Chain A
Amino acid sequence: MRDFYGVTLPNALLLGTAQYPSPSVLQDAFRASGAGVATVSLRREAGQGQAFWSLIRDLGVRILPNTAGCHSAREAVTTARMAREVFETDWIKLEVIGHADTLQPDPFGLLEAATILCAEGFHVFPYTTEDQVLAARLLDAGCKVLMPWGAPIGSGLGLNNRHGLRMLRAAFPDVPMVIDAGLGLPSHATEAMEMGFDAVLLNSAVAQAGDPVAMARAFAFAVQAGALARDADPMGVRDMGAPSTPLIGRAWL
């Protein structure tokens, strides 16, 4: 397992904390997933923030605050600074949203915010696309981790652009990468790991399942299977059939 800003995670799952049917299901799902990182956000205090903070602390996992909902670099930078103080971590999942329907990252705002935050000592986890040029610019800005999307946030579509993701993985083989957003099924997570990605970040796929705890467990197995398969050096793919049973010794019937 590759490390993320010097931290080695217990498994290849980062799990969101939103949309669970209840706080106890959230806690059980986390335990079932084995995830070592919980994503959280900052919102206007309306009475529930303090209880949520103690629940998250009790999970005993590393906190990754996000800048979800920010549509400009300025908003994202301010949110990141506020998150660093509240959650007492330099880690920030940097989201600068460029389109209201697809929730696609705004590459220009993302790079602008990442440049500022890296200079301020943040450990930035940028929510990005599979764009290689943008990836290179983010790395130049000081990001040590990339988080390309699988598909639009909350869509459950899986890996929308396998070719682009494979190209990105191959272009930066030494950079820790997390597939963030769009996964719906454990098979999507397995595929991401088989392709050589280092982890996946999920929320809706677990929280919106009929049984979130069972689904969290399924994802834990899925990333493990994908990583094992990748390390086992999968066979090559071919267009035509090739018999696996020996032809030599076949009977003359």
Chain B
Amino acid sequence: MRIEVNGTPRDIAASTVADALSELGWGDARVATALNGDFLPAASRATHPLRDGDRLEVLAPMQGG
């Protein structure tokens, strides 16, 4: 299916957010996720299904003031 990851269209085989993160190389990374604009806790990633056209945001620690 095709989803949008951090604003970029990606074709992925995974059907859950947890599997998608692994497929994208962020399986062990310290990241937070939001799906279609809503926070998706890490504990829900394995059970939350992905659908075609979903918007996934994957955020990481960054410098800030």
Residues of A at under 8 Å CB distance from B?
Answer: 16-20, 39-46, 48-50, 52-53, 56, 65-66, 68, 74, 78, 81-83, 85-87, 153-154, 203-204
Contact = CB atoms under 8 A, between A and B. Distances in A.
B19 interface: no
A52 B34 contact: no
A81 B39 contact: yes
Interface stretch (B9-17, B47-55, B56-64): B56-64
Contacts of A16: 63-65
A11 B39 CA distance: 34
B32 interface: yes
The 4 closest A-B pairs by CB, nearest first: A49-B60, A41-B64, A203-B65, A16-B65
Contacts of A18: 63-65
Interface of B: 6-7, 26, 29-34, 37-39, 41-42, 57-65
Contact of B61 (A19, A56, A78, A203): A56
Given A43-B62, A44-B58, A49 B34 contact: no
A149 to B, nearest CB: 12
Given A44-B7, A78-B39, A82-B32, A52 B62 contact: yes
A188 B41 CA distance: 41
Contacts, number: 98
B24 to A, nearest CB: 9
A42 B30 contact: no
A49 B29 CA distance: 9
Nearest to A75: B37
A43 B39 contact: no
Nearest to A204: B65
A204 B59 CA distance: 23
24 contacts: A16-B65, A17-B63, A17-B64, A18-B65, A19-B65, A20-B63, A40-B61, A40-B62, A40-B64, A41-B63, A42-B60, A42-B62, A43-B60, A45-B6, A45-B60, A48-B60, A49-B30, A49-B31, A66-B64, A68-B65, A82-B32, A87-B61, A203-B65, A204-B65
A66 B39 contact: no
A50 B64 contact: no
A52 B26 CA distance: 15
A44 B38 CA distance: 15
Nearest to A47: B60
Contacts of A20: 63
A49 B39 contact: no
B64 A49 contact: no
A43 B65 contact: no
B32 A53 contact: no
A92 to B, nearest CB: 12
Given A18-B63, A42-B62, A52-B62, 8 more contacts: A17-B63, A40-B64, A41-B63, A43-B62, A45-B26, A49-B31, A78-B37, A86-B32
A85 B34 contact: no
Given A78-B37, A82-B39, A85-B41, A53 B65 contact: no
